[in-house]
Chain A
Amino acid sequence: MRSALESFGRFARPAQQIVTVLTTGPRTPALIRHEIGARCGTDVGPGTLFGALARLERRAFIEVIPADRVPRAYRLTALGATTLEAELGALAGSPSATHGAASSLSPAR
């Protein structure tokens, strides 16, 4: 059975990266993009970034911190943290998947 983030299709990996970045605290989209680039060595385009953010927000995995001015910061919800934990737990049981997870969450060599 596909996990919650895998159901995002091509947005699954950026969504996973976003959720991982947000585990360290709230971030604006620009900071999220920067940190994904720094940690993974991949540049997430603006269309992909917001496509993934919209999916995560719609499923209440993340939420925007209300503010009158942009850029607004996003933070992980309890549901998002639980989902990420479950995803990592499931991946830990699969050697091939673990390699995929490591490559998406660890800095590029």
Chain B
Amino acid sequence: MTRLLRLYPRAWRERYGDEVVALLEERPTTLLDELDLIRGALDARLHPQVTGVVAAPERERPVNQRTFGFMAAAGGIAWIVGILSIFVLPRDVAGSRSLGLAMVGMALAMPLIGAALGDLGTRQGSATSARTGHAVIVVSIVLGLTLLPAWPVFLFGLFGFPILAALLAIRGTRNGVFPTWFAVVASIAGLGVLGGIGADVDAGRDQTLVLIAVVGVPALLLAGLALRGTPLTSTTPMPGPA
């Protein structure tokens, strides 16, 4: 009978699997029970009610929430200061703005913000979520490193990180870790960066640079959420379809 539980999504099994087994042990199961379980599995896949959320208390993490809050704050500041440095530094002989310090700032910011999003966004999740969080940290570091070589390698980081950050914010919201507004702000900021880059960074137009700088804002908001003292896992999961 318990083999039928394999038909259910992993997140569902992690939340309810042991309770179903306990229920089935109460009395002999019938063919109707088996058919009902199959029907329930189909429903669980068509209308997911569990999105990686488990009722178990937050797992022990080697690094606490406040540390990731400080990392997000440092990342947000590094990003914004890096972009603003473009306005401050003198132009080169050809009259173009200097992007060197901005790239270093963003290269530092990506691993810091990515690590905070990757860990905090998966705190109220399964073991799979935790592994995803670790993978995100590695990917963020790689994306940050792509900013250091010359064109066109840095385009991977410039395009990849805003998308990654927005997806992580949405995932964190669906996991019930971040409030919904945070996913909205992060998504808008990600689109702003993509728009800014698409509008030709090298031209150095002020409005383009401001668009890119906005990624620092959700990073600072994330820091505020993590540092306010309340565990992030207390947020109610995002409601979904029946």
Contact = CB atoms under 8 A, between A and B. Distances in A.
B95 interface: no
Contacts of A29: 19-20, 22-23
Interface in B12-63: 12, 15-16, 18-24, 26, 29, 32-33, 35-41, 43-44, 49-50, 55, 57
Contacts of B18: 70
A51 B43 contact: yes
Interface residues of B, number: 32
Contacts, number: 78
A54 B16 contact: yes
Interface in A26-85: 28-30, 33, 43, 45-51, 53-55, 57-60, 64, 66, 70-72
A74 to B, nearest CB: 10
A44 B237 CA distance: 27
A64 B55 contact: yes
Interface stretch (A7-15, A17-25, A86-94, A96-104): A7-15
A47 B19 contact: no
B152 interface: no
Greatest chain A CB density within 10 A among B12, B26, B237 is at B26
Which of B12, B16, B18, B239 has the most chain A CB atoms closer than 10 A to its own CB? B16
B57 A66 contact: yes
A71 B19 CA distance: 6
B113 to A, nearest CB: 30
Say whether chain B's binding surface is mostly helix, strand, loop, or mixed.
helix
A45 B236 contact: no
A11 B242 contact: yes
Contacts of B237: 58
A30 B27 CA distance: 9
Q: Is the interface of A mostly helix, strand, loop or mixed?
A: helix
Nearest to A12: B242
A58 B49 contact: yes
A50 B24 CA distance: 12
Contacts of A11: 242
B55 A30 contact: no
B198 interface: no
Nearest to A67: B55
B242 A55 contact: yes
For the complex of A and B, 7 pairs with smallest distance between CB atoms: A47-B40, A45-B36, A54-B49, A47-B36, A70-B22, A71-B22, A47-B37
26 contacts: A11-B242, A28-B22, A30-B23, A43-B32, A45-B35, A45-B36, A45-B37, A45-B39, A46-B33, A46-B37, A46-B40, A47-B36, A47-B37, A47-B43, A48-B36, A49-B23, A50-B20, A51-B43, A54-B15, A54-B44, A58-B50, A58-B239, A60-B236, A64-B55, A70-B21, A72-B55
Given A8-B242, A45-B36, A48-B36, 20 more contacts: A7-B242, A28-B22, A29-B20, A29-B22, A46-B20, A46-B29, A46-B37, A46-B40, A47-B43, A48-B40, A50-B16, A50-B19, A53-B16, A54-B50, A58-B49, A58-B239, A60-B236, A70-B22, A71-B22, A72-B19
